[in-house]
Amino acid sequence: MEIMTGHTCDSCSFNGTLLEVVQHNRKVHVSDKTDATSCCICSGRVLSCNLRRHIRNCHPDDCAVRCYICSEPFVEDKDMRNHVRCGCLNFLDHCRPDDVNKYISKHLQTDAAYRSECSDVVDRVDTFFEDCEGFTLDRFIQGGSIGKGTVIKSKSDIDCVMFTSNLPSIDSPDYSRQLQFSLEWVEDKLKESRLSIAYNLEVLGRTSHAVKLRVKTKKKGHESHDVDLLLATDLLGECPTQDKKKKVYTMMGRMSRSARENCSAALVELQVAFVKKQPAEVKNLIRLVKMWKASCVWEPSLTSYPLELLCIHTWRPHMSVADAFEAVLRKLSDYRSIYTYWSDNYTAVIDHEEMLSKRPLILDPANPYNNVADRCRDWDAVVEAAEETLQKPFFSRY
């Protein structure tokens, strides 16, 4: 007779504890975390990256682990500790609107030592490529949440752009292919010399525009830093004039969609500057909304940048962070009415009228051809999460 130890894989006959079956499923039946897979309890189809959350929500009684603060169920001890470290997923249940600033500084803001630990490793990568033979590094910039000043403890992302003159002209048909060669070269160089750069540097792999790195941290209660190292042609140069920007945007207007994609790394600096110059209260609002996304939103295609821009759009002087948070959630729950753009870097450019007719519209202040609201593939999931959060006692004073 077969001995049953609790759960059976939905795709083969593997038997084990819930955790063992979940781990088995990820290892054997799924190649990417965005692949669909089936739940070993109800056979329901879910994205692999959402499986643990699905089990917690739909089959709490099967979960062996509970959060000691809020009793939320978990598949694994590690998940629960992560949840506690991030400030407990049901953070709004333990936080009053008057305490929200205290909550942010205690649970979400990072300390200077954590940020400098990462900057230090990034500086070493910079120096390494400056001295690298056969490679011309013209300029190196740090973007992402650390550069913008919106990093939260549980998640930091850094985009570094290495501007090089080794690439062909941006409108050359060979640009994408050469970019791939160069990225491959950068990846190999880093792998070769990783340990001489920093003991806590890991090379994770490569995408079509970046080499992915991870900087491990020694700081307790903080996650590792994920670094995207991008390569690009310096289209704008340091401190570009409005005239220079206009020339670049006009050139982009004549390009194909995919060629335009190649220009986006050169615009990262403008994105960073735009978020960085916002007042401290807006950055706190951004941290809170990012925390909300990390803990309450299932949809992986909703990235940080559209939310950062939505926070900036929503914020009014003298608004409390709690009020602004509510306003952001209300906007998300009525996403079709989101309509915002800024003229800091551009006014009218090619196809501008057509772009402005889109809904929802969150037009990248650094790129007039980039409606960042388009990146979200499942707004219904976002609406559902926003509406659910608005039901929390936190908002009941209204």
Residues that bind Zn ion (CB under 5 A): 9, 11-12, 14, 39, 41-42, 44, 58, 67, 69-70, 72, 88
Shortest distance in whole angstroms from residue 153 CB to Zn ion: 16
Q: Which is nearer to Zn ion, 14 or 339 (CB)?
A: 14
Using CA atoms, how far apart are residues 324 and 326, in angstroms rounded to an integer? Answer: 5
Q: Which is nearer to Zn ion, 108 or 230 (CB)?
A: 108
Within 10 angstroms of residue 71's Cβ, the number of other Cβ atoms is 9
Q: Which is nearer to Zn ion, 42 or 204 (CB)?
A: 42
Q: What is the DSSP letter of 87?
A: T
Quickly list H helices, 100-256.
100-103, 112-130, 144-148, 175-197, 242-253
Nearest to 387 by CA among 333, 338, 337, 336: 333
Using CA atoms, how far apart are residues 142 and 328, in angstroms rounded to an integer? Answer: 28
Give how far Cα 141 sits from Cα of 263, 282, 383, Å. 15, 23, 35
Shortest distance in whole angstroms from residue 2 CB to Zn ion: 15
Within 10 angstroms of residue 216's Cβ, the number of other Cβ atoms is 14
Q: Which is nearer to Zn ion, 29 or 247 (CB)?
A: 29
Q: Which is nearer to Zn ion, 87 or 143 (CB)?
A: 87
Q: Which is nearer to Zn ion, 69 or 355 (CB)?
A: 69
Q: Which is nearer to Zn ion, 52 or 245 (CB)?
A: 52
Within 10 angstroms of residue 306's Cβ, the number of other Cβ atoms is 22
Give how far Cα 170 sits from Cα of 127, 164, 199, 262, Å. 25, 12, 35, 7
Q: Is the peptide bond before 97 cis (omega within 30 degrees of 0)?
A: no
Residue 337 tokens, joined: 């009415």
Using CA atoms, how far apart are residues 230 and 225, in angstroms rounded to an integer? Answer: 16
Residue with tokens 């906007």: 331
The answer to whether residues 86 and 290 touch, using CB atoms and an 8 Å cutoff, is no
Q: Which is nearer to Zn ion, 76 or 138 (CB)?
A: 76
Q: Is the peptide bond before 306 cis (omega within 30 degrees of 0)?
A: no
The answer to whether residues 306 and 331 touch, using CB atoms and an 8 Å cutoff, is no
Using CA atoms, how far apart are residues 37 and 29, in angstroms rounded to an integer? Answer: 8
CA dihedral 293, 264, 225, 68 (to 10 degrees): 10
Q: Which is nearer to Zn ion, 30 or 69 (CB)?
A: 69
Shortest distance in whole angstroms from residue 290 CB to Zn ion: 18
Shortest distance in whole angstroms from residue 90 CB to Zn ion: 6
Q: How far is C-alpha 160 from the geometric centre of its chain's CA atoms?
A: 14
Shortest distance in whole angstroms from residue 341 CB to Zn ion: 39
The answer to whether residues 360 and 335 touch, using CB atoms and an 8 Å cutoff, is yes
Q: Which is nearer to Zn ion, 245 or 293 (CB)?
A: 293
Q: Read out DSSP for 238-257?
A: SS--HHHHHHHHHHHHTS-H
